[in-house]
Amino acid sequence: MDSNFYKFTKPNKKIASFDLDGTLIKPKSGKISPKDKNDYQYAFDNVSNRLNELMDDGYKIVIFTNQNGIRRGKVNLKDIIYKIEKLFPLADYFIADKDNLYRKPMPGMYEEFIKLNGTPEKIFYVGDSAGRKGDNSSVDINFAYNSGIEFKTENHFFKDIKEGLKPVSIEFFKNNKISDFKEFNNNVVVIMQGYPSSGKTSFIKNYIKHNKIKKYIHLSNDEYTKSKLIKAFKKGLEEEILIFIDNTNPTKKRREEFIKLLPDDYVAVGIHIITPMDISIQLNQARYYDSSIEDTYNCKVRTKVSKVSKVSKVSKVAKVTYNLYKKKYEKMTTSEGFYKVYSYMPDIKLKYCF
């Protein structure tokens, strides 16, 4: 993390950590966003007293704050630091200015703090974005959950109003099993369909492992240019082996490029990975985060069958890509040349709440 965006003084075993805007401070003008660097006041009358009590009890104050407005030119980093230093001169702070692994609810800022401080014996985090009705998001409660630390709302900490809240996660559909699918023979082309990071590659790996398949071709746009992929596809047809097309394949036109090349002794099987868009986005964010903090990693999002290891850095897929897939999506049917079409929902375990 760029040292311009954090201040760390010295390690401490007891940590009281806080969000900044809406938790410790708010605009004095009453506006949603401050009009200038001097437009601030304590969010609650007892903020100063409560923080002093914590420091008297041996706690170190640490602020974790998202400030995406810096990157967009809406706020100035120096102005943010000015307010923190003015009101909380003894606090350490970590500022996330981009939509990357440091931005809450991703626990990147906390991981950076741990590198410098070590794991504290006592720690809690206070924030106002807890997924309640009227909250602008759930990034604070999910940040605490993802970091593995105790969470308190601003109302709980400063007003002693307890709120029974849980991290905001997403609902899952009933999953299938790899064993539900019979073993495909050599003269089969399996065309996958699904959102980015929906589990298409994991399905192929688990299917191959479950059926102990030795000879096959796994083709993906991630590994081949379009021309080289078609060339490898044709070569696989000549060798009469099992072929997997591991792309999103949202449209009939995209799938037709492969189906029209099939000889008479080949059949096409379609497998639609039905992982919803919101879960696919979370899977991508989790893989992006894990692959960003380590050169190699055991992915913290797993299926029951496989473990993902030694994976190179995963790119964070823009939400527009998911929306584009959704807009273009055409259901796979036997009328377009498939012998059979299957739907598959992976057994997904999310460690993080993003």
353 located within any domain: no
Instruction: Indicate whether 134 and 240 sit together in one domain.
Output: no
pLDDT of 348 reads 85
247 located within any domain: yes
**DSSP character string of 46-79:** THHHHHHHHHHTTPEEEEEEE-TTTTTTSS-HHH
> What is the domain-level CATH number for residue 227?
3.40.50.300
pLDDT of 311 reads 47
Instruction: Indicate whether 138 and 187 sit together in one domain.
Output: no
What digits encode the pLDDT tens for the residues 129-160?
999 999 999 999 999 999 999 999 999 999 99
Q: Please tell me the pTM assigned to this model.
A: 0.79
d(CA 214, CA 77): 56
Instruction: Indicate whether 129 and 260 sit together in one domain.
Output: no
User: What is the mean pLDDT of each successive set of 10 residues along the chain, which is 354 residues long?
Assistant: 88 98 93 84 96 97 94 87 95 94 95 96 97 93 96 97 87 76 89 96 94 94 92 94 96 96 95 94 91 54 37 82 97 95 90 85
Instruction: Indicate whether 130 and 246 sit together in one domain.
Output: no
d(CA 136, CA 351): 23
Instruction: Indicate whether 7 and 154 sit together in one domain.
Output: yes
Instruction: Indicate whether 133 and 196 sit together in one domain.
Output: no
Instruction: Indicate whether 194 and 50 sit together in one domain.
Output: no
190 located within any domain: yes
Instruction: Indicate whether 74 and 18 sit together in one domain.
Output: yes
Domain count, the chain: 2
- b/e per residue 185-218 (b: at least 16 CB within 10 A): eebbbbbbbbbbbbbbbbbbbbbbeebebeebbb
173 located within any domain: no
Instruction: Indicate whether 153 and 200 sit together in one domain.
Output: no
Segments forming the whole domain that contains residue 121: 3-159
- Give the domain-ending residue among 100, 131, 159: 159
Instruction: Indicate whether 203 and 230 sit together in one domain.
Output: yes
pLDDT of 78 reads 92
pLDDT of 266 reads 94
pLDDT of 172 reads 65
What digits encode the pLDDT tens for the residues 199-236?
999 999 999 999 999 999 999 998 899 999 999 999 99
> What is the domain-level CATH number for residue 53?
3.40.50.1000
- Give the domain-ending residue among 132, 159, 186: 159
313 located within any domain: yes
